[in-house]
Amino acid sequence: MSGNKSCPLFLFFFFIIPLLAAQSFAANSTILSYEIQPFIRVYKNGTVERLSGTDTVPPSLNPKSKVLSKDTIIQPSLNISARLYLPRSARIRKLPLLVYIHGGAFCTSSPFSATYHNYLTSVVAKAKVAAVSVNYRLAPEHPLPAAYQDSWLLLKWIFSHSKEDYGGREVWLRNNVDFNRVYVSGDSAGGNIAHNVVVRAGLEETGRVRIRGLFLNCPHFWGKERIGNESRDPKMVAVEESIWIHAYPNSTGFDDPQLNPEYDPNLSKLGCKKVVVYVAENDILRDRGLQYKKALEKSKWEGEVKSVDVKGANHVFNLNFPESKESKEMLKHFALFLNDKEKFN
């Protein structure tokens, strides 16, 4: 008799409750928590739907540009990886190294997407440099400062190849790279990360590696007070603020030094001697890029900085329209920069 009385209780705990929980989870999977167009949707149950940058292409030998590429794991426990690029003409001389950090609002894309793979292939082919493009962890599953930390780990991994007894084992780097000519670059959110990584390089030991330059493309900087033409587009202001709030919920706000370099007490320690900042006339981030140049000039940083304002262009125009005249001019400029042929005066 007692066994029969326990059956309803057994059914309740082992069948009814899990069924109700499953129904609740399913219901929450259709309820939106927030979305940031055109990047991401996040649902009440924690499901993340990325709206762009999810495509991938394998590493390869590009038959047109003769650029080799391959993937490698940097930190297995954190799932940090990178794609490496090398011109087939390597081994003739030691090459400059480009460290590239992709954009995507801190929450989308990867070095393995067609956009970034094709772009890095074109840069390596044009400039005749080696390149490493980092696959950092994405928000919101891994909120900032994860991407900053991952990109710094990549730099430390690169540093480990600059001397035989440092332990680096990647032959592409050991055999082909001139570690006195390392450059860092990034676009959009990647530009923000690139800046912060180079600031850290100015504060910490980098071994025999010398970061010679920083090349930023429409970098993602922001601030609490509106400047320039930002107030003309309240919708985009809301997008920019939403990106930071959800990418870095524990930041100090929109004037966090990692978002607004004007407030960074370590700005003068930026760990390179030359900077180029590209901005686009129709980009909501344009005025922040120009303000970044002014902030560097006002600080005690002992380097040279140049800004290029591309008329009529939109955010990261070179990635969206790589065959345009403006994009080709930018690629040419980038190649000169990576080979120390950029004229600042």
Strands, DSSP E only, in 88-195?
A: 95-101, 130-135, 177-187
Omega prior to 63 cis, within 30 of 0:
no
Q: What does R_g of the chain's alpha carbons equal in angstroms?
A: 23
Helix-helix angle 325-338:114-127, to 10 degrees: 60
Per the CB < 8 A criterion, the answer to whether 260 and 221 are in contact is yes
User: Which residues are CB-contacts of 99 (< 8 A; sequence separation ≥ 6)?
Assistant: 131, 132, 134, 154, 155, 158, 182, 183, 184, 185, 194
Nearest to 89 by CA among 142, 128, 141: 128
- Please list the active-site residues: 188
Q: How many residues does the chain have?
A: 345
**Cα–Cα distance measured from residue 115 to residue 248, given in angstroms and rounded to the nearest whole number:** 25
